[in-house]
A and B are shown apart, each in its own frame.
Chain A
Amino acid sequence: MTEANSLWPLLSTDSWANSLWPLLSIVLPIALIVGLLMLGVAYLTFFERKIIAAIQLRKGPNVVGPFGLFQPLADGLKLLLKETVIPAWANRGVFILAPLLTFTLAIMAWAVIPFDEGWVIANINVGILYLFAISSAGVYGIIMAGWASNSKYAFLGGLRSAAQMVSYEVSIGFVLVTVLMSAGTLNLSGIVNAQEKGIWYIVPHFPMFVVFFISALAETNRAPFDLPEAESELVAGYNVEYSAMTFGMFFLGEYANMILMSALGAILFLGGWLPPVNVVPFTIVPGALWFFVKIVVLLFVFLWVRATFPRYRYDQLMRLGWKIFLPISLSWVVLTAGVLVAFDFLPRG
Chain B
Amino acid sequence: MHSIMFYVFAIIAIFGSIIVITARNPVHSVLFLVLVFCNVAGLFLLLGAEFLAMILVIVYAGAVAVLFLFVIMMLNINIVPFREGFLSYLPIGGLIGMILFAELVMVAAGWVFAPNMPAGNLLATTTHGIPNTEALGQVLYTRYIYQFQTAGIALLVAMIGAILLTLRSRSGVRRQSVARQLVRTKANSLELKKVPTRGGV
Contacts and interface: CB of A to CB of B under 8 A. Distances in A.
Given A136-B62, A144-B31, A125 B57 contact: no
B63 A136 contact: yes
Interface in A118-162: 124-126, 129-130, 132-133, 136-137, 139-140, 143-144, 147, 155, 159, 162
Nearest to B37: A137
B75 to A, nearest CB: 12
Contact of B66 (A3, A94, A166, A349): A166
Contacts of A159: 70, 73-74
A139 B130 CA distance: 33
A156 B57 CA distance: 25
Contacts of B1: 3-4
A143 B66 contact: yes
Nearest to A180: B133
Nearest to B57: A133
A132 B58 contact: yes
B62 A133 contact: yes
A3 B133 CA distance: 30
Summarize A's interface: helix, strand, loop or mixed.
Answer: helix
B178 to A, nearest CB: 8
Nearest to B62: A136
Interface residues of A, number: 29
A143 B61 contact: no
Given A139-B62, A147-B27, A162-B66, A132 B54 contact: yes
Interface in B36-58: 38, 50-51, 54-55, 57-58
A299 B63 CA distance: 28
Interface in B108-135: 130-134
Given A125-B50, A136-B63, A166-B66, A349 B74 contact: no
A58 to B, nearest CB: 34
A186 B132 CA distance: 11
Given A132-B58, A159-B73, A169-B62, A140 B34 contact: yes
Contacts of A132: 54, 58, 62
A126 B63 contact: no
A270 to B, nearest CB: 24
B12 interface: no
Contacts of B134: 349
Q: Which 7 A-B pairs have the closest CB atoms?
A: A136-B62, A129-B54, A133-B57, A3-B1, A125-B131, A133-B58, A126-B50
11 contacts: A3-B4, A126-B133, A129-B54, A133-B54, A137-B61, A139-B62, A140-B31, A140-B69, A143-B69, A147-B27, A155-B73
Given A139-B62, A140-B69, A143-B73, 18 more contacts: A3-B4, A94-B28, A124-B50, A125-B133, A126-B54, A129-B54, A136-B57, A136-B62, A137-B61, A137-B62, A140-B31, A140-B34, A143-B70, A147-B27, A162-B69, A162-B70, A316-B176, A349-B134
